[in-house]
Amino acid sequence: MLAYFIRRVMILIPTLLGVSIIVFLMLRMTPGDPAELLLGERATEEALHEIREHLGLNEPLHVQYGLFLKRLMKGDLGETIWTRQKVWVEIKHRFPATIELSIIALGLSCFFGVLLGIISATRQYSVFDYLSMLGALAGVSMPIFWLGLVFMLIFSVNLGWLPLSARLSIHIDLEVITNFYILDSILTRNWEALRDVIWHLIMPAVTLSTIPTAIVARMTRSSMLEVLRQDYIKTAKAKGLSNFMVTFKHALRNALIPVVTTIGLQFGILMGGAILTESIFAWPGVGKWMYDAVMQRDYMVIQGGTLFIATIFVVINLMVDVLYAVINPRISVQ
């Protein structure tokens, strides 16, 4: 097990290095000058040259990347061009909002996706099976930005049931300890704030969870159907075990292997999809921060944020691999 972890960590280094190179080159090929955006169209050439010199943009590409890599080796992701704040400080401040949204969305995806998949598999070719798979197909096909706008129009503008944006209402006071608002509300026993935070989470979390729910449901159904046709399932039924015991104790555990892989990958995708969701709902997380950075050509923010999300994605994949052995003891890390 230790050797397996060491190998995976060693793979992590060249993976992140490759990500940093690709992002660095793509940013430099993108039209737009950060100096002009920062100083405005009427800035003089002397002022533009001075700010480019200060930001290191006048250096050759290999020198710029070398400086970035040198700072990265020291754990420094640089400073934002616009606020001159450390990128790592901004990530620590905004990441709780993103991870809170992503975890809630993933929880909804796992619960409803696995449940729909199990019911569809045990009732194959029924009306419920056809309707759930049709809904899953529709869920995969709908763009997040479109669905979010539809939800806002229906539930916020027309019905007035849910708040339009942000994490917390203006009139609610909350003592921020961890910047995870749900946890902070519980720690401070501020139940009014807890209700308000959950109320603000519903619409963006449901929007973000739509595509993963559909994918998990389809994968669960496919995997369950394959397992339910195995001989040991027929033997369990022949012994007189109830359908509940056969489905959840014997079939589900073996069917979860590919489902866990899908869920692990979906969490990484959720982090990427959060960029659109956070932008639509004005959610103050890493996604919206990176979207604003792209529009402002803030190179350090984009590079640092991308590396941070890539690291999380790789670590989650490692955790998924370890879960294989927990779910099915027949699978070893070898």
- pLDDT, tens only, 209-229: 888 888 888 888 888 888 888
Q: Which residues contact 254 (CB under 8 A, 6 or more apart)?
A: 227, 328
State the pTM of this model: 0.78
> Please, which pLDDT band fits residue 202 given cuts at 50, 70 and 90?
very high
DSSP codes, 205-269: HHHHHHHHHHHHHHHHHHHHHHHHTSHHHHHHHHTT--HHHIIIIIIHHHHHHHHHHHHHHHHHH
Domains recognised in the chain with CATH numbers:
87-327 (1.10.3720.10)
- Of the candidate ranges 64-73, 77-86, 324-333, the one whose mean pLDDT is the lowest: 324-333
Report pLDDT digits (tens) over 69-95.
Answer: 888 888 777 778 777 788 888 888 888
> What does 272-295 look like in DSSP terms, one character per residue?
HHHHHHHHHTT--SHHHHHHHHHH
Strand partners, 55: none
Mean pLDDT, the chain, rounded, equals 81
Which residue, among 112, 94, 9, 5, has the nearest Cα to 301 in the 3D structure?
Answer: 94
Torsion of CA 178, 183, 187, 188, to 10 degrees: 80
What are the angstrom distances between the C-alpha of 176 and each of 5, 85, 233, 252, 318?
Answer: 36, 20, 51, 41, 32
Each residue of 300-312: pLDDT tens digit?
888 888 888 888 8
| Separation in Å, CA 63 to CA 58, 60, 301 | 10, 5, 19
Strand partners, 79: 86
The pLDDT of residue 309: 82
CA angle 29, 32, 35 (to 5 degrees): 120
Higher per-residue confidence, 327 vs 62:
62
Radius of gyration of the chain (CA): 24
**330 band by pLDDT with thresholds 50, 70 and 90:** low
Q: Which residues contact 186 (CB under 8 A, 6 or more apart)?
A: 194
> Distance from first CA to last CA of the chain, Å, rounded?
8
Q: At how many degrees (to 10) do helices 299-327 and 87-122 cross?
A: 40
Give the rounded percent of residues in the chain with a pLDDT score beyond 70: 90
* Contact call for residues 283 and 166 (beta carbons, < 8 A): yes
Sign of CA dihedral 255, 256, 257, 263: positive
Q: Kindly tell me the burial class for residue 296, based on how many C-beta atoms sit within 10 Å of its own C-beta (0-12, 13-18, 19 or more).
A: middle
Distance of CA 86 to the CA centre of its chain: 23
> Mean per-residue pLDDT for 100-106?
89
Q: What are phi and psi of 242, to 5 degrees?
A: -70, 160
C-alpha dist (Å) from residue 51 to 55, 61, 67, 84, 237: 6, 17, 17, 13, 74
pLDDT for position 333? 47
198 pLDDT tier (thresholds 50, 70, 90): very high
